[in-house]
Structures are given as structure tokens and as C-alpha cells.
Amino acid sequence: MTLDTTMTDTTIRKSVYLPTSPERVWEFLTKADLLGKWFHPAEKDLAAGEDYLLTSQKDGDRMCWGTVEDMRPHEFMRWSFTVGPMAGVMSTVEWYLTPTAGGTRLTLEHSGLPDNADGYGLVLALDKGWHGFLSNLHDMT
């Protein structure tokens, strides 16, 4: 018997329920001043077809960057996404906003991540990071 050390699906999937409208959640996902409150500061508001850069709250260093590939206000957004440890390899982050009886379900899917044992540490770090950042939204919205 051999142990298969390759992974088949490293897509990170997370949902949070927020007690506010999809319109308000959208502002937290796209407005530079609000992104910095729960995630990382942005140089400018996010816009479809435009590059973005998010920086560290501690020292202003580059944290993550890519392009906003698609936007359907208050419903969906897709980014290409990378961080330093990915050495320029792009992944995909998709945001889904679904109205609920008491607010909004926000779902994140981060795909295109390393799918081998060597990349598992990065997947773990990103999973932990997204968990914390999405939790921050509970206190903001």
C-alpha cells in the first residue's frame, strides 16, 4: 500500500452570515476605506477590469494583488489573487452575496491553490487568514 501525497481539491470555501444588506456588504468588499477595516488597506476602490493592491496594516508592505475580473454589484465579484509566497502565480477569489431573511450570506471561494503536499502550508495559512478576515466582518457591518 502506498500513501498518495497529492491533494485533489484545495479550494477554500467559507460562508458567513451578516446582519446587514447585500448593498452594505458590497461596500465592505469594494470601498478602499472599508477594506482596510476588516481585511487590508486598498490603494483605491475596487472596479471591474482594474488591478488592485492591498497592503499591510502594520507597515504598508504589499500583501495581495491581482485584477478585479468580474463584478455584479451586490451579487458577485471575482478577483485574480496572489501573495508573495505564491511567487506571482495567480489564483482566483470569488465572492457571492445572497440575501437572507435577516441580512446577507457572504460566501468566499478561493481556488487555483497548490494541490500538492509541498503547497499545503500555504493552503493552511490562507485558510486561517480568510477565516479571521471574514470573522472581522461580524464586528463591522
Provide the residue ranges of all domains of the chain, joining segments of one domain with +: 16-140
**Cell 481585511, residue located:** 39
As a whole number of angstroms, the distance between CA 141 and CA 124 comes to 27
* CATH of the structural domain 16-140, one choice from 3.30.70.3270, 3.30.530.20, 3.30.1600.10, 2.40.50.1040: 3.30.530.20
Q: In which region does residue 103 sit, left (phi positive, over 0), alpha (psi from -120 to 50) or beta (all else)?
A: left
pTM of the model: 0.89
Residue 3: per-residue pLDDT: 46
List, run by run, the mean pLDDT of 10-residue segments along the chain (141 residues). Answer: 58 97 97 95 96 88 94 98 91 98 97 88 95 91 68
- Please state, as a whole number, how many other Cβ atoms lie within 10 Å of the Cβ of residue 125: 12
Angle at 138 between CA 44 and CA 108, to 5 degrees: 65
DSSP state of 15: E
